[in-house]
């Protein structure tokens, strides 16, 4: 069962996360708890798979270059390939889709040559081809949403 602090952390800081040297202390001050309470609650949320990371979202190609990548992976190998891909620092997330191209991820690098080298290394490491789907038109999708946590 989620505690009130968990609910506040999940809902109140999807946007306007404090940009300072001690953001968790700032959050704690806003919520009337200690910084340790905030860090412990975030650890609990992570351990219970309510969150997987805390980080900023940089618009595509603002810092370096990026591409969406699709791969067709047999079901029996999907999880192990996803784990390998997640280990690359250039990959910021990956996910499964119901399609022939069933594993998708975003790769980011400082330049086109580095990005291509990462994709080639992923192909060698996994034994499967990558299909780069570069951004042609930019669309903003707000990934924040209000969670209904009344009964959670």
User: C-alpha 42: how far from its chain's center?
Assistant: 16
- More confident position, 39 or 94: 39
Q: Tell me the pLDDT band of 140, cut-offs 50, 70 and 90.
A: low
Neighbours of 146 (CB within 10 A): 9
Kindly report the CATH number that applies to the domain delimited by 65-133.
3.30.70.3460
Question: Which of 16 and 83 is assigned the larger pLDDT?
Answer: 83
| pLDDT 10s digits, 1-48 | 789 999 999 888 888 889 999 999 999 999 999 999 999 999 999 999
Ranges of each domain in the chain? 4-47, 65-133
Helix, strand, coil percentages in the chain from 3-state DSSP, rounded to 5? 40, 15, 45
- Residues 6 or more apart whose CB falls under 8 angstroms from that of 29 comprise none
Cα torsion 75, 77, 80, 83: sign: negative
Contacts of 59-65 spanning 24+ positions with Cβ under 8 A: 59/138, 59/140, 60/135, 60/138, 61/135, 63/108, 64/108, 64/109, 64/110, 64/111, 64/114, 64/115, 65/108, 65/109, 65/110, 65/111, 65/112, 65/115
Note the pLDDT tens digit of each residue in 52-68: 778 776 666 667 888 99
Note the pTM of the prediction, 2 decimals. Answer: 0.61
The mean pLDDT of 105-111, rounded to a whole number, is 93
Phi, psi (5° rounding) for residue 52? -120, -20
């Amino acid at each position: 069962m989620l505690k009130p602090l968990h609910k506040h952390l999940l809902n109140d800081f999807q946007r306007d996360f404090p940009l300072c040297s001690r953001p968790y202390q700032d959050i704690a001050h806003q919520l009337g708890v200690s910084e340790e309470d905030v860090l412990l609650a975030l650890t609990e949320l992570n351990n219970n798979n309510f969150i997987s990371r805390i980080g900023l979202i940089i618009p595509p190609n603002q810092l370096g270059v990026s591409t969406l990548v699709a791969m067709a992976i047999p079901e029996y190998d999907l999880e192990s390939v996803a784990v390998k891909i997640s280990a690359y620092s250039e990959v910021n997330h990956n996910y499964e889709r119901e399609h022939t191209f069933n594993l998708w991820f975003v790769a980011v690098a400082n330049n086109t040559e580095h990005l291509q080298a990462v994709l080639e290394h992923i192909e060698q490491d996994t034994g499967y081809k990558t299909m780069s789907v570069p951004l042609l038109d930019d669309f903003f999708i707000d990934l924040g949403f209000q969670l209904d946590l009344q009964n959670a």
